[in-house]
Structure 1
């Protein structure tokens, strides 16, 4: 079996490392400089059934990029370009699969690696870090990948090992449409839950009805300009279903803000605002949420 290298040892990356190892795939974790010289312990994965399993991976650093044959990038959106810039020895034959929230990163990656197959994906798996190397798989979901450049069209076969490990991984020639659909959901749930400090399901309470309606309509109007055909009513149903299915979860933006980490606001709400401006659409709720999340992130950074 070919080795899978995972760039981004956060919750999702570690869960995917665990799922791949459970199926016998060799897995390496590309670690940041802060891990150099430290013991690289086994991951402890808490499965969906509540079992604790030790997951053994191979530690790698940027200068070892020439060894990679498959690269799965699970960093935050704002980390993708910086993390990849250090991998100058990456073989041109190595496919790069980008799995991150938001949009606005892919063009920069194509510029950095013009000869590599670039794939993008969306996933609805849930993951949470309980401590540095203790990871909980909180939800099983779908994973879709598709081509972001011409060279990527020959890599549909990667869905097979990912399906075996993840339970579902399917190819889509129109992966950007799936990215937009996930972006639309994230652009509603993430900033609201981060702003008000609530679980995803709490947004269904009557106190959030007005702001939820306004934000949903703003995001939907932008999506229509980007080529989506989903009606507002269908978008609301899809959105509510996600909130119901993830009712007890905290969004990634909520967790980042709560723990004083940078958020992906620029690649989610910021992307929506950029498109709204381009198409001359009003988006006052998006704008207010963006400003408040940015301010709170800045305030936390002062302490």
Structure 2
């Protein structure tokens, strides 16, 4: 089976799964955990140093999915969708070992060489392609591009921001852009030369360097007004503010740095709100970092950018 065959069949299978499991393919991001529960499989998470995930489908037992909790958030979601593909396609028990290049468990999440995909079995190709189309169907990608005010990615930074909107690894969206006819192979190879870590350093301008580049860096614009996004402990939110806009942030988003364009620093003032928020009224880049209790997930309430 070629990768083209796998993607043609998996595209159809993922669309059927969306319909059968009641998943809106235009929603950002697609909730793979909810889908797994709706499918009747049991979802579990645990550290597994040598495995990405496992699909268990033995006679006489309930089907189950086990995902390595030590992966990056995007890699956890993609691995879960890969295992859901095994379940939906009625495969037998499958183990995805850590030397499989599906979702690299590194802070940079670097793309693997295309030649490394040649050793995959038809079963694994189908599950991998299913994960791509399940988490990144055309409607979801189109929704994400609209929020980013794009028709298609223009550079590596756009690809990284798109991966955050979809909740997938940077490598996964890079590969899938060609399936969606949103990038050429030359563009993908060029964009893959810049790692997510390098992109993150550019997005937050190296202000207050974090201890690790594993967490993500979000760049928020007025298009995010009223939206709810999924963030994790250590993630950074960069807000680029034009003149005449107020940015109000809750007190659990401590400021890392703020710089103004041309005047040496933004004017800061406390707002009289119950959230003890701070407001900035200056063209600037604000960097705030999620400060959580160390749990795997945390939720960010909508950030309001109002003129």
Task: Give me the TM-score of the superposition, normalised by structure 1.
Answer: 0.30
Which one has a larger percent helix, Structure 1 or Structure 2? 1
Report which of the two structures shows the higher radius of gyration computed on alpha carbons: 2
Task: Give me the TM-score of the superposition, normalised by structure 2.
Answer: 0.30
